[in-house]
Structures are given as structure tokens and as C-alpha cells.
Structure 1
Amino acid sequence: MINSYGAKAKVDPKDAKLSMAHFFVAFGALALGGLMGLLQTLVRSGKFELPLGIGYYQVLTAHGVLMGLVLTTFFIMGFQYAAVSRTAGTHSNAARTTGWVGFWLMTAGTLMSGTMILLNEASVLYTFYAPLQAHWIFYLGLTLVVVGSWVDGAAQIMTYAKWRRNNPGKPSPLLSFMAVINTVMWIVATIGVAATVLFQLLPWSLGLVDRVDVLVSRTLFWYFGHPLVYFWLLPAYMCWYAIIPKIIGGKIFSDSLARLSFILFLLFSIPVGFHHQLTEPGIDPAWKFFQVILTFMVVIPSLMTAFSLFATFERYGRGKGAKGLLGWFKVLPWNDARFIVPFIGMASFIPAGAGGIINASNQMDQVVHNTIWVTGHFHLTAATSVVLTFFGISYWLVPHLTGRKLTKAMNKLGIIQAWVWFIGMAFMSGAMHIQGLLGGPRRSAFSTYGDSQQALDWIPYQIAQAVGGTILFLGIILVVIIFINLAFFAPKGEEEFPVGEAENLDEKAPMVFENWKLWLGILTALILFAYTIPFIDIIQNAPPGSKGFKTW
């Protein structure tokens, strides 16, 4: 079945199989990573000790890697692969084979790294900073995950390129364009983490070199680490921009505005890693200041997104006869999990974005840097705005891919799950923010705090985090139940893959948005300008180096 845009109304079953393979790994990581998160909050409450000699930093690393890297990367690749198939047409056999190769490389790397973490041979947190050292198999596994994601992304680019060849002079389907923007950003960003792993950490862990330059490795990591956040966010934006309007029965406010915002995210999300290193010596303050400015440029596409979304909601509401300033708010489909779950994620991004402004500000960052405030912010952005939107996507995408229906029971359970998640995160993230303002450190177990009065003052907030973590784990159980039901047990049927149409179909997106030579050229220039001279300074003025340690 073909819609008015020439796109297939249903993802091809062969493509659906590959997307579902990604989702099986993603939701498996969610279940195990969620359990690790629960154990962390219980330990920090001071009321629980890990059994069987399991270390706190062991479960902390497992939680970060499984939730921050495995869950997100596999879900995003599975979602984008399906979105490109739905809007740009069925993947060719070559693209599908490429996708499977990427999937198995990522899966093999995940199993390698995960095994080392569970064996306590890689308790180095998800940032794996030197001089902490992990087993070489952990680093090799990470390399395979990164390379596999490049191959996986190449399959999407191949299908997009085929569509462009077959439709010269026409703007590509919006969802496919967005997916390719995110894939390109991911490939460019992961060059940094691939470089530090391949040329520093892997040879070091194999004993081929005695020392690594810690500042170089941290700089390469944060060249990747900040765009990693936008790699998580942009698929949620894809849903907000192009899918939610269809779900509510409205129209996309502006196709061109959506494309422009994604291009701006591509340009301003990568050359800004120094704002994560504001307290580190060895980097000229002028370059830190420059990258802070570039960081704040991301506020522009973020505000564009907020304007576009609420314009869509208001226009839909007015069309339903809503009156007054906020009358449109009442007529939104609050009983539809496909809408309300991502909407809670959208609303959560308002305080999350405010916290991000604080983290990126040189003066205010001094107050919260390396405190558990940062962890609370992280859980508002990635673990609420992003993850709740991913859950909302899965509630219609999984049955679409498996040929089943989202039943009323699962729809209701999805809404319950979203509110359970919101309540749990309000407890946990709220307590983390407050404890951070009181000086509570991040990455630390309760036993490391000592018996000072300040540590005693933190206890109520740590208990609140444990309460929130427990509620969140209940939310994870509900998500897993819904996923299994929609994948295997829901009644057979046709579930829509909703793709919105622009409000003004006569308004064609300018073809300059498809000029990849232009945008990649500007991106390259920004990266070279932001990093070349600072990197030369870091290498020329480097101290002798840091010897590694086998464990924390």
C-alpha cells in the first residue's frame, strides 16, 4: 500500500525483522540495566549492601553502559531503520545485508564488553576515563559496537541515497532526512571515541604502551560525549516533529522549520566538548569560552522545536473549536498512550533544558560540577525526555512490525507506566538535584561519604533516590511486560506507523537542505576551528603522562 507521498504505509516484513532484532537487544539491556540502577540507589541509601562480593562501581558501570549506550544505540538504529523503510521505501537486499552485518557487530561487541563488566574486569564507568583501566576485551567490544553502528547507519544512508537518485530535485521524506542527519552526526562524533579507544586505551590495556595522555583521551571522549546526548535526543525530536502531529490528528507546522532545526543541531552539537571540561587544566580558557558560546547556539533549534510543537497543538485545538489561551490543551488525546507518553517526555525537557544551561555556564557549573546534580540532570534528559518518548514509539511501532494491535489494555497499561515513571523520576532526579546543590558527589557509594555532618544531611535525599529508583524499576517491569505482549501475544492486526503531513503541502522545503557538501563542509570547518589549536597545545604541553591502574 502506497500513500500520497509515494512512501509505503507499512514497513516491509524483511525490514521489520531487522528492526525487531535491534529492539530485542534494547529491551533486554533495559531490564538488566534497570536492575543495576535499582541496586545503586539502594546502596546509596545506606540501608543495603550488595551480595556475593559484587562491587558498587561494577553495577554503576553496567547501568551506565547498558542504559546510556546499548539501550539507546540499538533502539535508535532499529527505529531509524524502520522509519527510512517506511518513508523512503523498502531497503534493498544490499542495504538490508549491511544492516544485519552492523547489527551482529554491535551485538558481539556488546556481549564482549558486558561480559567484562560482569566479571569485574571493567569497572570503569560508562565514560571509561584513563587512568582507570579495563580488560582489553572491553575496549575491543566497544570498538565493535562503534564500527557496527557505522555499518548499521550506512544501510539507512544507502536507502536515502537511492531515493534521492530516483527523485532528483525533490526534497527527501522528512523522517528519512532526519534519520540521516542523526546518523551522520553519530558517525562524525564517534570518530573521537574510536580514536581514543583504538590508539590509546586498547594498546595500553594490551601492554603495548606504558602510558596514555589522560587529557587527550578525555578531550576525545567529550568530543563524542556531548553529541551523544543529541544522538539520543534527535530520534525523540523525530517523533515530536513528524509523528505526534499525525497521532493527534493535526499537521506538521512547518516541514522546512523541522529540517532547519536538525541541520542546526548537526552543526552546533559536535564542536562543544570543552564545556564538559571547564574545570580541567591544560585547556586554554579562551577555547573553553568559544565552545561554551557554540553550546548555547543549540538553544536556537531547541526553541524552534518548542515553537513548532506547540503551534501544532494549538492549531489542532483551534480546529476542534477550542477557545481561550489554553483551551486547545483540553482537547488533546489524553487517553492515547502514543501521545501522552511522549508528551510527558516533552514536558520533562523544559526543566532538563534549564539544567543543561546551568551545566554549560562557566560560573554556575562551578557550583554543580562533579556533584550528583549532574546525574539528576542526566536522568531528566536521557532517562525521561528521551526514554519516555522511546517507550511511546515502541507502543505503536512494535505491533506495527510484528503484525499485531495495540489493545485497550496495553494502551491503558502504557499510560500507567508513564505516570509511574514520572513519579519515580520526580523522587529520584529531584533528590539528586537538591543533594547536588548541597555538595553531594556523583559516582560515589554511601560508604565513601564518612560520618561528617554534611554526609548525614544527605541521607534523606539518598533515601528519596532509593524510593524513586524502586518506583522506576516497577516502571521498567511494566514496559517489559508491554513489549513482550506487543511482540508475541497481542491479537493479530494492522497497527499504523503514523507519519504526519505538512500543514502547507504547497510549501516545498528548499533543496539547499539536501546540500550535504555545504553542511558537512561547515561542520568540518567548525570542528577544525574549535579543536585544532587547542589539541596542538594539549599535545605540545602535555605532562609525562599517567600510568594506568587495573581496577578502581
Structure 2
Amino acid sequence: MIKSNSKVAPKDAKLAMVHIYVAFIALALGGTAGLLQTLVRSGKYELPAGIGYYQLLTTHGVLLGLVLTTFFIIGFLFASLSKTAGTLSDKVRLSGWIGFWVMTIGTATTATTILLGEASVLYTFYAPLQAHPAFYIGLALVIVGSWISGFAMFTHFGKWKKANKGAVTPLLSYMAIMTMILWLVSTLGVAATVLIQFIPWSFGWVETIDVLVSRTLFWYFGHPLVYFWLLPAYMAWYVVIPKIIGGKIFSDALARLSFILFLLFSIPVGFHHQLTEPGIDPAWKYLQVVLTFLVVIPSLMTAFSMFASFEMYGRSKGATGLFGWFKKLPWGDARFFAPFVGMLVFIPAGAGGIINASHQMNQVIHNTIWVTGHFHLTVATTVILTFFGISYWLIPHLTGRVMTKAMNKLAIVQTIVWTIGMAFMSTSMHAAGLLGAPRRSSFSTYGDAAQAHEWIPYQIAQAIGGSILFIGIILILIIVINLAFFAPKGETEFPVGEVADEAEKTPKLLENWKLWVGVLAVLILIAYTIPFIDMIQNAPPGSKGFKNLL
């Protein structure tokens, strides 16, 4: 029988840490690009040395939306598996290192093309915008590297199941594998469009590209990408936070069910990003909007479970009244405070997501900076603050150090600074979006637009928010460098919560991987097969890409 480790093994810790190092380097570079963007949009600053606005926008989106998140998540998942499913084997660890280097080479390749001004195509890289072939090759390497790491995780998890037949899998390991299944299935879409469409097109092997097919394949990936960001945060919320506050997990079964539902309802819904596009039958758009709204169910389950855990803890400490437990929470512990603020921000973020996915309301805010403001609430606040909270215990655990009281206080300040900065940034983006301010535009591109003068105060507010957020980036980098290299040596716990005694037993049905992956495959086929065939059969004359495969 393989049991949980008291700590992550040293060799596994090194593998996890190199991923985290790359993630925070991406934060530093991408955050700098974001600051410059907001200054340009304010109309008070011009970029030096011939740097292009869209060059910055691409750098910001790729480094923060793809590189930071993917590297941090994979590092966290490897550490979680090593902790709860036993030390990684030499073969699994080697695969993890191969995956890391393939991803890193791909990231460097893509970043070089952006910095040279050969790939100012944004992180969505919509056709007919075209980048240097190396940009797409680099993206493909990042995806392939992540697959190598993912299959290494599956191998390790399978070894645990064989050695512990009939046992309920560790919750944190279960969640890690569910997250990687979501990633692997969703990246099939972006891998297909990059390998079969964009790379041949960028080399000049074909003259044109089927834009609708490329956008559909991107958003097949693009929406579950949001849940690839969110699920590791939920891992911390469900499993880690109860341990940090001194409480217990409300329900193991509820946590597993919520992850299954996130997997099922997050992938076959890409059309809700394409509601204004022709070429897709409205009936299929409607189906995917319905599936999109079903994700509200596991979101509410998560909220219920988390606040139930908080209340159980508070009551155990003598709290009375409806909200007496609230006062008992450890507000002075940055490991709790940062993720909890992220949880609270997810309430307005979720409300904004409902608007984005609603056909009628989407017409008001489609392609406006409202959508950018929504992303800054979800990934740039809820997810990133939770990742910061994870870092406050994960990095010292992996490096054999401890977080001092001074660093904890600085982390509390960092969370407050980040929240204030994002309040300026996201609120002004939402407001400007309602006034029609376009997404992905700089001040110089507004021209003589009649409404442009109405947007300027909000653009200035974004610059203020961006400046405050940059201070927040400096603070988190100081904390991370301290925890990795300078903090006092010592033992830091990898907090894994225990399930409450009164919780119901976890049904074996939730461990039936073949069933749930099969249901996911059926949902994808229902949602995409007929509309995809229609796109290919009715492609414009001369369109290349998938049409020439039939």
C-alpha cells in the first residue's frame, strides 16, 4: 500500500519548484507589459524604442494567461501528487523534467517572436492575423510538453490505484488528475488548429485559412482554459484552506462531484464565445449556452461547501449567531486571507460571467473592454490571489524554509494592495465597456470616435489601477524570492485537510473514470459534431485547412 508522505520528496520538490520559478518570471515580465498598456491607454504616455501596443498586449496575454498559469498549475499538481499519492518514480519524474524543458523551450521560442515584433497577434491569435511560424511552433511545444507531464501524472496515479485496490483515492490527487484530464481534452482543439491550420498557413504552404473553423477550435479550448485556471484554486479551497483554519472538509463526496461537473460542463460550451458569429446555427449556440449555465451548479456547490467548512470551524470555537463564525476566521494568516479575498471577488466575477454567456445581454458588452474587466476579476484576482496564498506555504515547504511574521505581514499588505489596484482596474473596465469602449484598443486607435471623450476618465483609472497592481507584483516577487532563497531554514507543513466525521461516505461511482470521461466524450460529440461538419461542408470557396482533409 502506498501512503501519503509527510512532505514532498526533495527530488519531487525540485521538479515542482522549477515550474514555479518560471511562473513568477512570467508574472514579472507580463506584469510590466500590462503596466505599460494601461499607461498608453490613458493617453498620457507614449511607448519608447518603437515598441508596439499590440506587441505589449500579446506579451501580457501570453505570459500571464498561458505561461504563468500553466507552469504554476503543473508544479502545484506534481507537488500534490507527491504529497498524497507517494514519491514520484524515477520514470515519472524524468517525464516531468522532459515536459518542463519542452514547455520552456516552446515558451522561449514564442516569446522571442513576440519581442522581435513578429507575432503581435494577441493570445487568441485570431486569423487573419498572422504570426511568424516560430510563434505557433512554440505554442505547440508548450502544449506537447504539458501533455508529457500530464501522462506522467496519470502513470503515477495509476500506480497508486493498483497498489491500493478498492481504496478511495486521496482527494487532492483525484482533483489533480481531474484538472489534467480537462486540460488534455481541451487542448486537443488548439493543438489541431495550430498544427493543421496555422503552421502550414504561416509557412506559406497554403494560401488561406478557414477562419470560422480556427475560431471554433480555439474556443473549444478557450473556455475550459478558464476552468483549468480555476480548478487548482478550488483544490486549495476544498482541501487546503480547511486545514489552515483548523477545521475539516465539509464533504469529500461533494468536492469530487463538483469537479466531475466542472469537467462535464466546461468543455462543450465554446459557442457562447461566438454568439455574434455567422455560420453557426442558433440552435447549437442555444444548446451550448444552456450547458454553460449548468456550470453554475458546481460553483454554488463549492460556495456552499466552503462556507459550511468555515461555519463548522467557527461553531467549534464557540461562535454563536448567524455570522458569529466569521469573526473566528484567521484573518491575520496570509495563507487564508489571500484565497478568501479571491473567493469573495468570485461573486461579482461569476455574475459578470452570466452576462457574458447570455445571448441578449452579451450583445451589449460583446468585444468591449467589459470582457477584459471580467477576465481581470476571474484569473487576475480570484485565481492569482489563491495562487499567491498557495505559494506562501508551498514554496517554503518545497525549499525547506519557513515564512516569517514579517513576510506574513507583507503578504497581507500585498493582498490589500492587489485588491485595491484591481478594484480600480476592473471596475473602470466594466464601466467603460458599458459605454462602448472597445476591447484590445489603444488610445491612439480611437481616432475621432464621438464617445472617446467619455472613456478617457476610465482609461486614467485603469492606469492608476495598473500602477497599484505593479506595486503588488513587486511585493509578491519580494516575498517569493525570500521564501525560496533567504527565509530561515525549517519545516513548513503541506496542509491537507481531513474530512468531517459526520460527512457521508464517498460513493464508488465518483471514482468511475471510464464513465465520466465517456459522458464527457458524448457531450462533446453532441455539441460539436453536426455544427463542425456544417462549417467544413459550407466553407468559403478556396478556404484551406480542414476542408482539404475531406
Letter in 2 for 1:365: N
Cα displacement (A) at 1:236: 0.2
Of the candidates 346, 359, 362, which is equivalent to residue 362 of structure 1? 359
- Give the Å deviation of 1:507: 4.0
Quote the residue 2:72 is aligned against.
75
SS state at 1:212 partner: coil
Question: CA separation of 1:415/1:432 partners in 2, compared to 1, >3 Å: closer, same or farther?
Answer: same
Q: Give the aligned residue type for 2:171.
A: L
Take 2:518 and 2:114, find their aligned partners in 1: how far apart are those partners? Answer: 39
TM-score, scaled relative to structure 1: 0.97
Moved more, 160-169 or 506-515: 506-515
Q: What residue number does 1:94 align with?
A: 91
Q: In the alignment, does 2:423 pair up with 1:401? A: no
Shift of 1:506: 7.4
Which 4+ residue blocks in structure 1 deviate beyond 4 angstroms? 545-548
The answer to whether the aligner puts 1:315 opposite 2:325 as a matched pair is no
Q: CA deviation at 1:304?
A: 0.2
> TM-score if structure 2 supplies the norm length?
0.98
Match of 2:333 in 1: 336
Q: Closer, same or farther in 2 for the Cα pair 1:198/1:110, shift >3 Å? A: same
Residue identity over aligned pairs, in percent, reads 73
Equivalent residues in 2 for 1:45-194, closer than 5 Å: 45-194=42-191
Shift of 1:451: 3.3
Q: Match for residue 234 of structure 1? A: 231
Deviations 1:110-143 (A, max 9, x none): 0000000000100000000111000000100000
The equivalences for 1:125-524 within 5 A come to 125-504=122-501, 507-524=504-521
Aligned 8 A contact 1:179 1:235 in 2: yes
The amino acid across from 2:311 in the alignment is E
Measured against aligned partners, the alpha-carbon deviations of 1:305-357 in whole angstroms (never above 9, x if no partner) come to: 00000000011001111111111001100000000000000000000000000
Question: What's the secondary structure of 2:244's corresponding residue?
Answer: helix
Distance 1:517 1:452 in 2: 55
Q: Is there any run of 5+ residues in structure 2 with no aligned partner, and where?
A: 546-550
CA distance in 1, matches of 2:543, 2:414: 46
Deviation by residue 1:230-282 (Cα, 9 ceiling, x = unmatched): 00000000000000000000000000000000000011100000000000000
CA contact (8 A) 1:268 1:295 kept: yes
Q: Within 2, Cα distance between the matches of 1:338 and 1:422?
A: 16
Deviation per CA, 1:19-73, whole angstroms, max 9, x where unpaired? 0000110000000000000000000000000000000000000000000000000
User: Are 1:27 and 2:31 an aligned pair?
Assistant: no
**Offset of residue 543 of structure 1:** 1.4
Alpha-carbon distance in 2 for matches of 1:496, 1:162: 25
Q: What is the root-mean-square deviation of aligned Cα atoms in Å?
A: 1.3
Between the aligned partners of 1:506 and 1:500, the Cα distance in structure 2 is 13
Do structure 1's residue 544 and structure 2's residue 547 form an aligned pair? no
Instruction: Tell me how many residue pairs correspond in the alignment.
Output: 545
Contact 2:250 2:309 survives alignment (8 Å):
yes
- Residues in 1 aligned to 2:238 and 2:4: alpha-carbon distance in whole angstroms: 18
Q: 2:250–2:503: 8 Å Cα contact kept in structure 1? A: no
Q: State the 1:18 CA deviation.
A: 0.4
AA in 2 matched with 1:30: L
Q: How far apart are the structure 2 equivalents of 1:493 and 1:546?
A: 62
- Contact 2:265–2:295 (CA<8 Å) still a contact in 1? yes
1:495 to 1:240, Cα distance in 2 relative to 1, 3 A: same
- SS of residue in 1 equivalent to 2:47: coil
1:426-483 deviations in Å (ceiling 9; x for gaps) = 0000000000000000000001112344101110000000000000000000011100
Contact kept, 8 Å, 1:417 with 1:479, in 2: the verdict is yes
Alpha-carbon deviations, 1:134-174, whole Å to 9, x = none?
00001000000000001111121111111100011111000
1:514 Cα deviation (Å)? 1.6
Could you say what secondary structure the match of 1:328 adopts? helix
- Determine the structure 1 residue equivalent to 2:548: none
